[in-house]
């Protein structure tokens, strides 16, 4: 494990150093100055009690790489259960607990020519925050310590998370979304309900019907037109 006190971003570090880093390496930072999330958003990473971790992955096949964030969201829900916290997944990979977002997951790839050199699969988990810290985050957030009523040992959490991640990683990379489908559906909080999707300044409403075999979301609009969403930020 590579541990930094402070770095711009564990994902960026992995992408910059992908040639030297080994498959399966884990990079952790106590704080990040350039933590980022999906759609180029900032991931505020000042709280040293929280987890900022990136897995270095160089699989034989990248066929199911797009579903790795969904796999990691299921892994996290499993780990949170060990802390007696029940969590949900909001498509594609937001993990929610106690009514707020407790973690964010972002997978970035290092590309060369027509190929991929490796992946930086990053996760930020709110483990030890104060109520005031939480209020400063723009969207409704949650932190594990506030849900369990006790401080969380960050390195112990990182150990449990990575063990759980690698337990079924190879099986998942051979099978894809179907491998986690039933668990993912069980933890989903959006299926069978109305969702909102913002796109190009407009807000659309759909019925979230089902998940396709590739992890994309099948939705139906008010005119009964079916659409498949591959990437979006949904609101419930």
Q: How far apart are CA 228 and CA 236, in angstroms?
A: 17
What is the distance between the alpha carbons of residues 64 and 49, in angstroms, rounded to a whole number?
Answer: 32
Quick one: which segment of 18-26, 31-39, 150-158, 215-223 binds ligand BTN (CB under 6 A)?
31-39
Instruction: Write phi, then psi, for 106 (nearest 5 degrees).
Output: -140, 125
Output 78 or 93, the one with its CB closest to ligand BTN.
93
Q: With binding defined as CB under 6 A, does residue 9 bind ligand BTN? A: yes
Distance CA 90, CA 188 (A): 6
Residue placing its CB nearer to ligand BTN in the complex, 43 or 206:
43
CB 76 within 8 A of CB 95: yes
In the set 15, 43, 169, 176, which binds ligand BTN (CB under 6 A)? 43
Quick one: DSSP state of residue 135?
H
Q: How far is the CB of 125 from ligand BTN (least distance, A)?
A: 8
- 82-111: contacts with ligand BTN (CB under 6 A): 104-106
Task: Report, in Å, the least distance between residue 54 CB and ligand BTN.
Answer: 5
Paired with 198 in beta bridges are 203
User: Which chain residues interact with ligand BTN by CB under 6 A?
Assistant: 9-11, 32, 35-38, 41, 43, 52-54, 104-106, 122-124
């Amino acid at each position: 494990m590579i541990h930094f006190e402070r770095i711009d971003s564990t994902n960026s570090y992995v992408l910059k150093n992908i040639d030297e880093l080994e498959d399966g390496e884990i990079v952790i930072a106590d704080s990040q100055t350039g933590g980022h999330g999906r759609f180029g958003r900032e991931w505020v990473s000042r709280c040293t009690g929280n987890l900022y971790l990136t897995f270095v992955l160089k699989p034989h096949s990248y066929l199911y790489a797009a579903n790795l964030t969904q796999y990691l969201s299921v892994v996290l829900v499993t780990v949170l259960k060990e802390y007696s916290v029940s969590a949900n997944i909001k498509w594609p990979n937001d993990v929610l607990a106690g009514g707020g977002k407790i973690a964010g997951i972002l997978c970035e790839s290092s590309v060369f020519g027509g190929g991929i050199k490796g992946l930086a699969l990053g996760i930020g988990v709110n483990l030890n925050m104060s109520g005031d810290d939480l209020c400063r985050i723009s969207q409704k957030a949650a932190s594990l310590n506030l849900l369990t009523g006790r401080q969380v040992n960050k390195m112990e959490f990182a150990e449990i998370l990575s063990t759980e991640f690698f337990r079924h990683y190879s099986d998942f990379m051979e099978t894809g979304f179907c491998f986690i489908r039933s668990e993912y559906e069980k933890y989903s909080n959006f299926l069978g309900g109305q969702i909102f999707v913002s796109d190009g300044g407009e807000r659309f409403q759909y019925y979230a019907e089902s998940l396709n075999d590739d992890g994309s979301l099948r939705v139906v609009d008010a005119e009964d037109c079916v659409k498949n969403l591959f990437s979006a930020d949904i609101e419930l």
